[in-house]
């Protein structure tokens, strides 16, 4: 396998996580290991035999440990995500454990990282009508979130209009003192030694994601007076179960314990806005836990990561997980830079002074081009009463603003980094300021250089407040991680896009120096924000279609996703170029269309076994994922692209003649009698044939099969990635499957 630069950096980081050999007689050098074992028999593996399972786990520990300090050494025991435990062990103790019957693997845990008034309307969800109303706003569905906790007293988590929890709910409420759960927050637990040992959020991330997924309606929401409106989550009548696992970093053992608990508690949706480095699925414990959840009918939605705009930067790429990338919405908090020659550049800032003078003032670069503004760089510059041009990057924007303000500057213009291009952010600047695009930065520099020799460069900033209607939206967020997946390039990832830029949602405390209010909100960006949007949409679909499997819910979203923006042009990236398929996945979620997809691609849990065997995993590695014994030599192993996924991703050597045929099975969930005709837009230079070219259905839930043959181009393409799609069109439905082809001479 060829290692990319990013892979080398990741490898170095992983090696740094694993210290040198540990010694059993020094408990200060113990490390938490995640241990996978085989259950000795079916009876012991049942959840009713928890005492016997705990005894079985203890038997793997060294005798002195098992008899004396097991309470301190076993951190968590797992049952529902897989059979195994987390324990504080030395390397020698782990090596001794390897010789015991039933031992599968042990590895040190890793620490994973954490990766709205308008977004429901942006997605076509409107109160008292359409899909939102018909789906009962997610009523009866339980969304479990693994995050930093939740602020239970926030009005977004009021249980007004909420029914009691479903009878199946078995969860617990671990708030301290007078705080309690209600019909909105029906469960709240904490794992590990988090701050105060309580599910209450102390950082804000979990409160924000929870309210994005399922916050109740709150009128008058805003942040610094901007983005005003009625805030709500995607599924405002769904129940919330919070599992606090981050403070703010997220220990793998705690994440697994929370997933184990959530499965037993009875959640319908699991939402994880966190992730780590990609790894083979048998070594990726989130993937293993998500598979167990999927087997029990739980839909798992995860953030794609914030490693964009670079390729091969994804997290959470298992095909049984919905991997969510981030997009912009059509709202901006506009601050416009105007130059002395009347050039104008729209940017963003949350600082929107009402009476800021509109007269021109001198424009200065207080330091060398391309450097941020700091107290050091401003020491010898005279910026009093002037607008300073500073540089985004190594120094926080808030710190630069504070430095400019302290030096007497009248305002600040922040040009973007080149890789972020046209994507700007509103922040609570400490003085009049605007964050403008990289292109605007170049033009501002040219103006400054050209006028500096003939006249004084001048500028002003105009504050226009909340502006809705950006025709470029949705566009790919620059930070949104891109594919292809390093682990499984034959599965198109990310799966889909959701709003993740400038999202206003609940926050546990005021950052505006407000007092006597619990109704606090904040605007935040990240794939952490896009993930709960899709978790909420999944809750709406589960409420409307309780018989749909996780794979069917995913298929409904992917095959109905939008591929054009509000200007009816193809979705673009951060530079306003047509976005590559490994940035968009299937496209941008369209909840109303997902409610009625026509045809769906279903995948049963057992269907993943041939796929996993086809990845050349060993019997033990596949068994660790699916939680039962597997014999791959007795299975019909399939290539990745043969999995019944609602998209296609192929790796083809352009120098070798080849033809590849894959089959798909679609299930009719539309009209009983319906006819679909295929439409093909092949990747450039490829020949694509679909047989049969017409599908005739006579019943609901009827299944039909088709084959797709891809023939390589006559000559090598100039592009490393080419894309196309196929659609099945009826009089009412259009069922779209994107096609991605990676042209490579070497193994990925």
Res 414: pLDDT: 96
What are the pLDDT digits (tens) for 256-273?
999 999 999 999 999 999
What are the pLDDT digits (tens) for 129-138?
788 888 889 9
- Structural tokens at position 645: 């996924």
Q: Give the whole-angstrom CA distance, residue 538 versus residue 313.
A: 25
Res 202: pLDDT: 87
Q: Dihedral angle at the C-alpha atoms of 724, 730, 733, 738, nearest 10 degrees?
A: -10
Extended beta strands in 8-133, E state: 31-37, 74-78, 84-89, 103-108, 111-114
Give 592's contacts (C-beta < 8 A, 6+ positions apart): 124, 125, 130, 131
Q: Give the whole-angstrom CA distance, residue 710 versus residue 189.
A: 50
Number of helices (H), then strands (E), belonging to the chain: the values are 19, 34
pLDDT classification of 6: cutoffs 50, 70, 90: very low
Between the alpha carbon of residue 210 and those of residues 38, 146, 206, 241, the distances in Å are 36, 10, 6, 9
Question: Residues 490-513: what's their mean pLDDT?
Answer: 89
Give 104's contacts (C-beta < 8 A, 6+ positions apart): 36, 37, 38, 84, 620, 624
Q: Judge whether residue 370 has pLDDT over 70.
A: no
Res 599: pLDDT: 98
- Give percent of the chain with pLDDT exceeding 90: 71
**What does pTM read for this prediction?**
0.90
Q: Where are the alpha helices (DSSP H) in 233-373?
A: 252-265, 285-295
Instruction: Give the count of beta carbons closer than 10 Å to the beta carbon of residue 65.
Output: 22
Mean pLDDT of the chain: 88
Question: Residues 105-125: what's their mean pLDDT?
Answer: 78
Q: Give the whole-angstrom CA distance, residue 622 versus residue 619.
A: 5
DSSP string, 649-665: EEEE-TTS--EEEEEEE
Cis peptide preceding 135, ω within 30 of 0:
no
Question: Residues 506-533: what's their mean pLDDT?
Answer: 81
Q: Judge whether residue 335 has pLDDT over 90.
A: yes
What are the pLDDT digits (tens) for 297-311?
999 999 999 999 999
Between the alpha carbon of residue 183 and those of residues 116, 137, 201, 263, 354, the distances in Å are 21, 15, 19, 20, 41
Q: Dihedral angle at the C-alpha atoms of 632, 636, 639, 645, nearest 10 degrees?
A: -110
HSE, CB side, 13 Å, CA atoms: give it for residue 442.
Answer: 7
Res 549: pLDDT: 98
Question: Residues 683-712: what's their mean pLDDT?
Answer: 96
What are the pLDDT digits (tens) for 416-468?
999 999 999 998 888 999 999 999 999 999 999 988 767 899 999 999 999 99
pLDDT classification of 713: cutoffs 50, 70, 90: low
- Give percent of the chain with pLDDT exceeding 70: 89
Res 11: pLDDT: 29
Q: Which of 310-314, 321-325, 396-400, 521-525 has maximum average pLDDT?
A: 321-325
What are the pLDDT digits (tens) for 192-208?
876 668 899 989 999 99
Q: Give the whole-angstrom CA distance, residue 590 versus residue 613.
A: 34
- Structural tokens at position 231: 């805030």
Chain mean position to CA 295: 21
Residues forming the active site: 147, 205, 528
What are the pLDDT digits (tens) for 606-665?
999 999 999 999 999 999 999 999 999 999 999 999 999 999 999 888 777 779 999 999
Q: Give the whole-angstrom CA distance, residue 371 versus residue 121.
A: 40
Res 5: pLDDT: 30
- Structural tokens at position 40: 């000795």
- Burial code (b: 16+ CB inside 10 Å, e: under 16) for 82-104 equals bbbbbbbbbbebbebbeeeeebb
* Site of tokens 């018909």: 134
Are 214 and 234 in contact, with CB atoms under 8 Å apart?
Answer: yes
Question: Residues 225-246: what's their mean pLDDT?
Answer: 91
Q: Give the whole-angstrom CA distance, residue 30 versus residue 17.
A: 13
Chain mean position to CA 444: 35
Are 185 and 207 in contact, with CB atoms under 8 Å apart?
Answer: no
Question: Residues 360-365: what's their mean pLDDT?
Answer: 94
What are the pLDDT digits (tens) for 116-154?
455 677 787 887 778 888 888 999 999 999 999 999 999
What are the pLDDT digits (tens) for 13-66?
222 322 322 223 344 578 999 999 988 765 444 444 667 788 889 889 877 654
Comparing 711 with 5, the larger pLDDT belongs to: 711
Q: Give the whole-angstrom CA distance, residue 645 versus residue 688.
A: 18
């Amino acid at each position: 396998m060829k290692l990319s630069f990013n892979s080398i950096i990741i490898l170095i980081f992983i090696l740094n996580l694993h210290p040198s050999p540990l010694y059993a007689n020094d408990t200060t050098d113990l490390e938490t290991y995640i241990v996978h074992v085989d259950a000795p028999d079916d009876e012991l593996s049942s959840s009713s035999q928890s005492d016997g399972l705990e005894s079985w786990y203890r038997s793997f520990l060294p005798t002195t440990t098992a008899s004396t300090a097991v309470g301190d050494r076993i951190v968590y025991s797992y049952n529902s995500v897989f059979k195994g435990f987390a324990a504080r062990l030395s390397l020698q103790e782990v090596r001794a454990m390897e010789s015991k019957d039933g031992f599968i693997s042990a590895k040190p845990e890793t620490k994973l990282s954490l990766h709205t008034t308008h977004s429901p309307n942006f997605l076509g969800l409107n109160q008292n009508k359409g899909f939102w109303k018909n789906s009962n706003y997610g009523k009866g569905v339980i969304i479990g979130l693994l995050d930093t906790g939740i602020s239970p007293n926030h009005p977004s988590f009021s249980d007004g209009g909420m029914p009691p929890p479903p009878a199946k709910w078995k969860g617990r409420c671990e708030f301290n003192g007078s705080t309690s759960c209600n019909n909105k927050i029906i469960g709240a637990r904490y794992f590990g030694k988090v701050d105060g040992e309580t599910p209450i959020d102390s950082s804000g991330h979990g409160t924000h994601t929870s309210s994005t997924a399922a916050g109740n309606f709150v009128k008058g929401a805003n942040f610094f007076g901007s983005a005003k409106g009625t805030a709500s989550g995607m599924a405002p009548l769904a129940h919330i179960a919070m599992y606090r696992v981050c403070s703010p970093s997220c220990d793998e053992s705690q994440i697994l314990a929370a997933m184990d608990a959530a499965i037993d508690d009875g959640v319908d949706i699991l939402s994880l806005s966190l992730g780590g480095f990609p790894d083979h699925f048998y070594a990726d414990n989130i993937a293993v836990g998500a598979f167990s959840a999927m087997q029990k009918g739980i839909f798992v939605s995860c953030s794609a990561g914030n490693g964009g705009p670079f390729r091969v930067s994804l997290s959470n790429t298992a095909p049984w997980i919905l991997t969510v990338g981030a997009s912009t919405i059509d709202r901006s908090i506009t601050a416009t830079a105007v130059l002395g020659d009347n050039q104008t550049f729209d940017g963003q800032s949350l600082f929107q002074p009402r009476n800021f003078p509109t007269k021109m003032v001198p424009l200065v670069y207080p330091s060398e081009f391309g450097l941020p503004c700091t107290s050091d760089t401003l020491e010898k510059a005279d910026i009093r009463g002037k607008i300073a041009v500073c540089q985004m990057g190594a120094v926080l924007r808030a710190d630069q603003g504070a430095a400019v303000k302290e030096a007497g500057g009248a305002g600040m213009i922040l040009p973007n980094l080149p890789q972020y291009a046209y994507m700007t952010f509103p922040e609570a600047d400490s003085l009049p300021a605007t964050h403008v695009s990289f292109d605007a930065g170049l033009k501002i520099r040219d103006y400054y250089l050209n006028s500096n020799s003939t006249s004084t460069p001048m500028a002003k900033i105009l504050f226009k407040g909340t502006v809705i209607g950006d025709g470029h939206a949705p566009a790919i967020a620059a930070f949104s991680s891109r594919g292809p997946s390093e682990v499984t390039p034959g599965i198109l990832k990310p799966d889909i896009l959701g709003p993740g830029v400038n999202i206003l949602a609940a926050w546990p405390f005021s950052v505006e120096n407000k007092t006597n209010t619990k109704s606090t909100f904040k605007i935040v960006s990240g794939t952490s924000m896009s993930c709960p949007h899709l978790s909420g949409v999944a809750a709406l679909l589960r409420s409307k279609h309780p018989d749909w499997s996780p794979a069917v819910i995913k298929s409904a979203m992917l095959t109905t996703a939008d591929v054009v923006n509000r200007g009816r042009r193809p979705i673009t990236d951060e530079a306003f170029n047509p976005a590559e398929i490994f940035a968009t996945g299937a496209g941008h979620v369209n909840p109303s269309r997902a409610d009625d997809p026509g045809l769906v691609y279903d995948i049963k849990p057992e269907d993943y076994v041939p796929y996993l065997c086809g990845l050349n995993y060993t019997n033990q590695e596949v068994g660790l994922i699916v939680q039962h014994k597997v014999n791959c030599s007795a299975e019909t192993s399939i290539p990745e692209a043969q999995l019944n996924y609602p998209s296609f991703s192929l790796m083809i050597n352009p120098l070798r003649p080849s033809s590849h045929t894959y089959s798909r099975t679609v299930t009719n969930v539309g009209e009983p009698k319906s006819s679909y005709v295929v439409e093909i837009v092949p990747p450039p230079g490829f020949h694509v044939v679909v047989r049969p070219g017409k599908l005739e259905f006579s019943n609901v839930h009827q299944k039909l099969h088709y084959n797709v043959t891809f023939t390589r181009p006559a000559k090598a393409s100039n592009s490393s990635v080419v894309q196309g799609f196929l659609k099945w069109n009826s009089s009412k439905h259009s069922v779209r499957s994107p096609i991605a082809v990676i042209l490579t001479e070497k193994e990925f």
